Amino acid sequence: MAPVLETRSDCSRCAALCCIAYPSEEMPGFSAAKQAGQPCPMLGADALCTIYEHRAEEGFSGCIRFECFGAGQHVVQTLFEGRDWRGDGALLGPMVEAFLALRPVSDLAYLVERALGVAPTDPALLQLREELADIAGSRETLADSARIARAGQAVRRAYASLDPASLQNS
């Protein structure tokens, strides 16, 4: 059985992947211009944010609101076994690619955990939790877009049978 995916970000175990992966036009609340895969200009040489404490005042409130649902630390700690691009620049591209591939899976895993909060023994949800963890287990399985799409459809089916009011209160 694959381990349960974490569904909350832990930046201390990531490598600033969200500060690199996206182009600025896909980053609401981000007041600089950058291409996909290019480090944010506010990222220091130590790969820490140089304006972390006053991002909102500097026009980067989107960074405060951004949540990767655990994708960042999963890429670094699981898919790259603790290695990161700060020690080997050649890893930057593959790590960003893995992060972008994992993001939709992490979104689905978050939705499944939320649903399990109100239906903790639902067999379909428990099976989906395992399926998503399995997909996230390697870069090869993350490349299976048809499998990810099927998981997304299954999540939508699972939600269709849940009481929306119970989700709002969870």
Binding site residues, ligand SF4, CB under 6 A: 19, 40, 42-43, 49, 51, 55, 60, 63
Task: Give the number of C-alpha atoms closer than 13 A to the C-alpha of residue 106, restricted to the C-beta side.
Answer: 19
Of 7 and 9, which has the nearer Cβ to ligand SF4? 9
CA of 6: how far to CAs of 13, 107, 109, in Å? 12, 11, 8
Cβ proximity to ligand SF4: between 2 and 11 the closer is 11
Report the nearest approach of ligand SF4 to the CB of residue 18 (Å): 7
Nearest residue (CB) to ligand SF4, 38 versus 141:
38
State the minimum distance, in angstroms, from the CB of residue 65 to ligand SF4.
Answer: 11
Instruction: Closer to ligand SF4 by CB, 49 or 91: give it.
Output: 49
Greatest Cα-to-Cα distance within the chain, rounded to the nearest angstrom: 49
The DSSP code sequence of 35-86 is -TTSPPTTB-TTSSBTTGGGTTTTT-HHHHH---TTHHHHIIIIISTT--TT
Q: 64: buried, middle or exposed (CB in 10 Å: 19+, 13-18, 0-12)?
A: exposed
